[in-house]
Amino acid sequence: MTRGHSRQKFRASCPPEGYDFVREVAPEPGELLLPKTQASAFFGTPLTTYLVGAGIDSLVVTGCTTSGCVRASVVDACALNFKSIVPSDAVYDRSPTSHAVNLFDIASKYADVMPAWEAIERLRALADDRTRDRPT
């Protein structure tokens, strides 16, 4: 398979607006962007170095496709000892069956899978706990 064909497959798997950032999560000026050429966000990118350097040990993984890029990134994150959350309503796959099966498998082995609202509640609770634990 040629690189061009692989890229066409990737483009075909995402919604038409797949390369555009949703306004609410668009990068702010100065935020780090790491272009990737493979399914995993970790493969061939300095992502691990940035995360470790910043003291980050947990991730929220979103995007498309659930059976491709999301899954590959979550599997690699698990292998690198990062804890991951996958908001089930913030990932996409061209096939509802593939989407459901992969979410089930990801939840069984690699990450916590839950609706976005629940992930947000968990993250807020963690932030509240950290605020309470800080010395005054």
Residue 14 has a CB neighbour count (10 Å cut-off) of 17
Residue with token string 């590959």: 72
CA 56 to mean position of chain CA atoms: 14
DSSP letter (8 states) at residue 21: P
Residue type, 91: V
Q: For residue 134, what are its two tokens? A: 């800080």
**Given 14, 64, 69, 78, the catalytic residue:** 69
Please indicate whether residue 78 is annotated as part of the active site: no
Residues with a known catalytic role: 69
